[in-house]
């Protein structure tokens, strides 16, 4: 999950929790307010019950008949009233609510009026019992269906749920969009770091704007890349300069040895052998200096273009076959286009072929496969010991078997460095006979 998504979810969660808490506080408050309003309407109606009773009596045509008696309810709007002229004598089964001792005390004004919830004929009522004003001994019950407030609360409940969930979802979307804008410099920084990791291009920089934390981070990154680039450049220049400086005395030494070997003044019988050994050491020193120069030169892909890897490998195989008598080369290639430094790619493939030639037995076969951006070279030599396999691409590493052979221990290290500079890989795998080395690059 991306940081942008996590920030969006966090923002949405905060808004959702805030709305949920507000709803949990608002809903009981509104429910209590509605109940208070219902109770207030019941109290006001009970206070006006005497006037209501007089109006009902005026409309009653039967003499000595109580308004609605004690067996029914009188509806006034959404309210229902029950008058009990004599609660003491009212039967318990004839009334809306059975008359109890508490009702008698309320009628006698010895106890305060009270509220209660009653289920009557399948309907929930909120009932207020109070004495009839200016009619001592009489009792009135004012009832109102609780469904009046239930409908309102139901609608409020749906509205609050919709607002809470909808607000959370909208907050997630808005927070994610805002996070994308805020984190855009971080995304550019990440892309730059990934680019540097893949290409080793230390000159990459990002625009540092503002003096906030992200701007300071970008500035620190640019400063770090500048220091790193200067350090790597100085290191490469040191290696190159030292290698060039070593070439001059080495050339003079080789020339002197050649003159000494060709001259007539070698009276010591062991002198020619010593001169030959010195010349061999000078040659090995020259190879080492060349490898050091290549390490400094191919540390990064300074020049890049589209390269037909299959054609390049075929040309190098022809060159190796011309100089390696007694070996056969088999090439299996398909059209493969990569993007890189042609000189560096040529040196890497040449090193793989030189390694295969060095370890192949007389009459052996070197197999070269080129396809899908990869060059694989397989020899039929003794192979590489399992203990040496993790270190074959390290600089100056030479196994016990390789120390008796010519080389500087930098050939495969140069191969891996070139592969890394081009965003590729260099791998070693054991073959049925010998060793299989693969140099892979991202296809263009």
Task: Note the helical H segments in 139-270.
Answer: 147-182, 184-199, 213-262
The strand pairing partners of 129, in sequence order, are 114, 141
Higher pLDDT pick, 435 / 185: 435
Which letter, b or e, does each residue of 164-185 get, where b requires 16 or more Cβ atoms within 10 Å of its Cβ? beebbeebbeebbeebeeebeb
pLDDT band of residue 287 (cuts 50, 70, 90) is low
**10 Å Cβ neighbour count for 420?**
20
Query: Could you read off the pLDDT of 399-422 as tens digits, one per residue?
Result: 666 666 666 677 788 888 888 888
What pLDDT shows up at residue 421? 81
Inform me whether the pLDDT recorded for 163 exceeds 60: yes
Higher pLDDT pick, 441 / 325: 441
Winning range, highest mean pLDDT, from 278-292, 311-325, 395-409: 311-325
Higher pLDDT pick, 326 / 289: 326
Winning range, highest mean pLDDT, from 234-238, 258-262, 269-273: 234-238
**Could you give the count of Cα atoms lying within 13 Å of 349 in the half-sphere of its Cβ?**
28
Higher pLDDT pick, 64 / 202: 202
Task: Please name each of the domains of the chain with its CATH number.
Answer: 3-152 (3.30.450), 213-294 (1.10.287.130), 302-440 (3.30.565.10)
What pLDDT shows up at residue 295? 63
Q: What is the Cα–Cα distance from 253 to 293, expressed in whole angstroms?
A: 20
Q: What percent of the chain has pLDDT over 70?
A: 71
What pLDDT shows up at residue 82? 64
Q: What is the Cα–Cα distance from 45 to 353, expressed in whole angstroms?
A: 107
pTM for this prediction: 0.46
What pLDDT shows up at residue 268? 56
Name which of 307, 256, 266, 253 is nearest 424 in CA terms: 307
pLDDT band of residue 72 (cuts 50, 70, 90) is very low
Query: Could you read off the pLDDT of 321-337 as tens digits, one per residue?
Result: 888 878 888 888 888 88
Higher pLDDT pick, 393 / 276: 393
pLDDT band of residue 122 (cuts 50, 70, 90) is confident
């Amino acid at each position: 999950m991306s940081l942008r998504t996590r920030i969006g979810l966090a923002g949405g969660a905060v808004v959702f929790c805030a709305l949920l808490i507000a709803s949990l506080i608002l809903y009981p408050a509104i429910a209590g307010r509605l109940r208070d309003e219902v109770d207030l309407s019941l109290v006001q109606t009970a206070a006006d019950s005497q006037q209501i009773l007089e109006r009902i009596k005026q409309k009653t045509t039967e003499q000595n008949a109580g308004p609605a008696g004690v067996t029914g309810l009188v509806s006034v709007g959404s309210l229902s009233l029950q008058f009990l002229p004599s609660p003491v004598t009212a039967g318990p089964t004839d009334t809306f609510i059975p008359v109890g001792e508490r009702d008698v005390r309320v009628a006698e004004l010895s106890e305060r009026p009270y509220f209660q919830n009653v289920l009557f004929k399948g309907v929930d009522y909120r009932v207020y019992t109070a004495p009839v004003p200016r009619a001592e001994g009489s009792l009135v019950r004012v009832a109102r269906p609780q469904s009046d407030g239930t409908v309102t609360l139901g609608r409020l409940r749906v509205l609050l749920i919709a607002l809470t969930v909808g607000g959370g979802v909208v907050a997630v979307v808005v927070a994610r969009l805002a996070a994308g804008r805020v984190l855009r410099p971080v995304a550019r920084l990440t892309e730059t770091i990934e680019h540097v990791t893949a290409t080793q291009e230390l000159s990459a920089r990002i625009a540092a704007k503002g003096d906030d934390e992200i701007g300071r981070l970008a500035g620190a990154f640019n400063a770090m890349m500048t220091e790193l680039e200067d350090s790597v450049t100085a290191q490469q220049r040191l290696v190159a300069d030292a290698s060039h400086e070593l070439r001059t005395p080495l050339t003079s030494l080789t020339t002197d040895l050649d003159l000494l070997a060709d001259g007539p003044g070698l009276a010591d019988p062991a002198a020619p052998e010593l001169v030959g050994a010195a010349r061999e050491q000078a040659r090995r020193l020259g190879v080492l200096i060349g490898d050091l120069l290549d390490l400094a030169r191919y540390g990064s892909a300074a020049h890049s273009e589209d390269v037909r890897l299959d054609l390049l490998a075929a040309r190098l195989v022809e060159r190796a076959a011309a100089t390696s008598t007694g070996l056969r080369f088999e090439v299996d290639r398909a059209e493969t286009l990569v993007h890189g430094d042609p000189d560096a790619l040529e040196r890497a493939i040449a090193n793989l072929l030189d390694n295969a030639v060095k370890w192949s037995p007389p009459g052996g076969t070197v197999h070269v496969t080129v396809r899908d951006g990869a060059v694989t070279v397989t020899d039929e030599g003794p192979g590489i010991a399992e203990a040496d396999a993790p270190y074959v691409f390290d600089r100056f590493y030479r196994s016990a078997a390789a120390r008796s052979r010519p080389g500087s221990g930098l050939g495969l290290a140069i191969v891996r460095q070139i592969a890394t500079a081009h965003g590729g890989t260099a791998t070693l795998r054991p073959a049925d006979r010998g060793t299989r080395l693969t140099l892979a690059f991202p296809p263009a």
